[in-house]
Amino acid sequence: MNPPIEAILGAAGAAPSGDNTQPWRFLVDEREGTIGLRVDEERDPSPMNAGQRMARIAVGAALENLLRAAEALGWGAQVEDAPPPTLALVRLRDRGGEAGPIERALADRVTNRRPYDGRPVSEEDLALLERRARGLDGVRTHWIVGQDRLPAWADLIGRADATMFGHPDMRLAFLRKVHLDAGDGEGAPEGLAPSSLELTHGDRLALRVMRRSPDWLLRLGGAGRVFRAKARQLVLGASGLLLVVAPDDDEATDLLVGRTMQRAWLALDELGISAQPMMSLLVLDNVLRLGEAKLIESLGRGHVSGLLEEAQALAPEIGEGRPAFLMRFGYAPAPSGRSGRLPVPASVVAHAPPVPEHPGRGS
């Protein structure tokens, strides 16, 4: 039997990615029964994706989905090392088992940017989340909850958002990915639909003005303060934060961070808990490690390092680990809209034809 590649890749492509850039490439070899995963570096050349780290995290999330879908469809899936630029090679083996349905959560998981209602997650559910989202190969998950901890994080994330969106290059890179012309509730096959960002008509207008305004005018108008207050409010209403911590700075670890984050997100979804990555701190960390010198200088190396030191101090339990992914979680109604996806073939770059199911004899 040939593996159900289309269904498996459909599930992989439902993974989250920074600004919905869908930076994965799948190299399909149906004869060998393998799928290679790579980063398509052209999908997100923005400064938020310095060194393509955010893209590798997204590929990790796609890999987690791919493995789960293959298993559900009755196929054994083994991850093998592969020569760069391939990040991972998945070998599919027919286990001869029954094909079951693909987990509902793979398609249902969504970024929910609404305000959350502040209700705490029960001890029992937190224990379940910890078990289900256990990290891979030294990557760890930390669930930060409690009114004694969240306000300081809210303040810090607010300042990180103000720093990131306060920089003209980063703000414009973000604004370019928002489809301000899309109608209410309308998705977009890539990039961000206004409804998924919960933008009011007033917000849309403000973003249009922002696109055209010079930096000095925005500073004068206090745009940084607006981003700061918004992020702060969003964290204050959350039940908690999930921090995924990496043991090192290796590229291969980014893939494991993505897989671990996706495990956590799917586990949250199954419990009816909403989530939204809030990555400004880690995007800034990434700029310091892998970004261009000019950008680092204009952001202020000392300022960004200071924010990261604060994060480390707020989470002493992470020790020497590197914070690699941060998201808020909590209870909220469904989002007003969701981002769309490109069709599967847009991400498939090689395709060896399948072996015929019933090869003709004697031919």
Q: How far is the CB of 331 from ligand FMN (least distance, A)?
A: 17
Contact between 240 and 329 under an 8 Å Cβ cutoff? The reply is: yes
Closer residue to ligand FMN, CB minimum distance, 187 or 354: 187
Q: Indicate the residue whose CB is closest to ligand FMN.
A: 16
Restricting to residues 3-42, which ones interact with ligand FMN according to CB under 6 A?
A: 16-20
Q: How far is the CB of 231 from ligand FMN (least distance, A)?
A: 9
Q: Does 103 bind ligand FMN (CB under 6 A)?
A: no
**x/- binding map, residues 274-303, to ligand FMN, per CB under 6 A?**
--xxxx------------------------
Structure tokens at 349: 């770059």
Tell me whether strands 88-94 and 240-246 are parallel, antiparallel or unpaired: unpaired
In 3D space, the residue among 102, 37, 44 whose CA is nearest the CA of residue 279 turns out to be 44
Contact between 22 and 340 under an 8 Å Cβ cutoff? The reply is: no
Number of residues in contact with ligand FMN under rule CB under 6 A: 19
Structure tokens at 331: 């209870």
- Classified as helix, coil or strand, 333 is coil
Q: What contacts 244, CB < 8 A, 6 or more positions away?
A: 135, 139, 140, 141, 142, 257, 260, 261, 264, 323, 324, 325, 326
Structure tokens at 253: 């670890």
Task: Please report where in the chains the tokens 């990496």 appear, as a residue.
Answer: 246
Closer residue to ligand FMN, CB minimum distance, 92 or 267: 267
Closer residue to ligand FMN, CB minimum distance, 88 or 92: 88
Give alpha helix (H) positions in the chain: 5-12, 53-72, 104-108, 123-132, 150-166, 168-176, 201-212, 215-221, 223-236, 251-270, 280-290, 293-299, 301-314
Q: Does 111 bind ligand FMN (CB under 6 A)?
A: yes
Q: Does 163 bind ligand FMN (CB under 6 A)?
A: no
Closer residue to ligand FMN, CB minimum distance, 140 or 259: 259
Q: Does 339 bind ligand FMN (CB under 6 A)?
A: yes
Closer residue to ligand FMN, CB minimum distance, 17 or 163: 17
Structure tokens at 77: 């899936």
Q: How far is the CB of 301 from ligand FMN (least distance, A)?
A: 21
Closer residue to ligand FMN, CB minimum distance, 113 or 179: 113
| Among the residue ranges 55-63, 98-106, 222-230, 288-296, the one whose residues contact ligand FMN (CB under 6 A) | 55-63
Q: How far is the CB of 332 from ligand FMN (least distance, A)?
A: 13
Q: Which of 113, 167, 259, 263 binds ligand FMN (CB under 6 A)?
A: 113
Q: What distances in angstroms separate CA 363 from CA 256, 352, 359, one per listed residue? A: 46, 21, 9
In 3D space, the residue among 133, 108, 70, 142 whose CA is nearest the CA of residue 272 turns out to be 108
Q: How far is the CB of 232 from ligand FMN (least distance, A)?
A: 14
Task: Please report where in the chains the tokens 């027919």 appear, as a residue.
Answer: 94
**x/- binding map, residues 181-220, to ligand FMN, per CB under 6 A?**
-----------x----------------------------
User: How many CB atoms neighbour CB 317 within 10 A?
Assistant: 10
**x/- binding map, residues 58-87, to ligand FMN, per CB under 6 A?**
x--x--------------------------
Query: Interface with ligand FMN by CB under 6 A: which residues?
Result: 16-20, 54, 57-58, 61, 110-111, 113, 192, 276-279, 338-339
